[in-house]
Amino acid sequence: MATQESFMRRAISLASQNVREGLGGPFGSVVVRDGEIIGEGSNRVTSSCDPTAHAEMLAIRAASAKLNNFDLSGCEIYTSCEPCPMCLSAIYWAKLDRMFYGNTIVEADAIGFSDEFLYKEIALSMDERELDATRLLEDEALESFNLWAQMEDRISY
């Protein structure tokens, strides 16, 4: 019978295998529903030249594809390391019920994977962030929002 520990071991195994194969960083993740793995991912940032190809993101994408649903309520995620801000946000967006993690962000920082800057930036107002951001065409940009607000058959998420 599958246990929480066995799912975490799978996430850890994916992370180690990823390093051995030279496909990306030491991160692995699985999404589980009703005691069954429905999505797996390991970090593919460098091998796919995709900065969003984190283990959690790929596991969420695989689970969503398998269920044909963007709402992963009723599922849990097991990840070999405490998620970065992007992955943590995706976990919330996917409505996962619970998260289990192995390594911490402090341990990740010790081997060169630091998210401290991102966590600090997110907490700042737009004009205090290091990223230069300028608003353009705000009136034109509102068109799509107005169209969405008027749609009677929109799928909210």
Q: What tokens were used for 44?
A: 């593919």
Contact partners, residue 95, CB within 8 Å, separation at least 6: 71, 72, 73
Instruction: Please report, for residues 8, 42, 90, 94, 137, the alpha-carbon distance to residue 52 in angstroms, rounded to integers and kept in the order given.
Output: 22, 12, 11, 16, 27
Catalytic residue annotation? 56
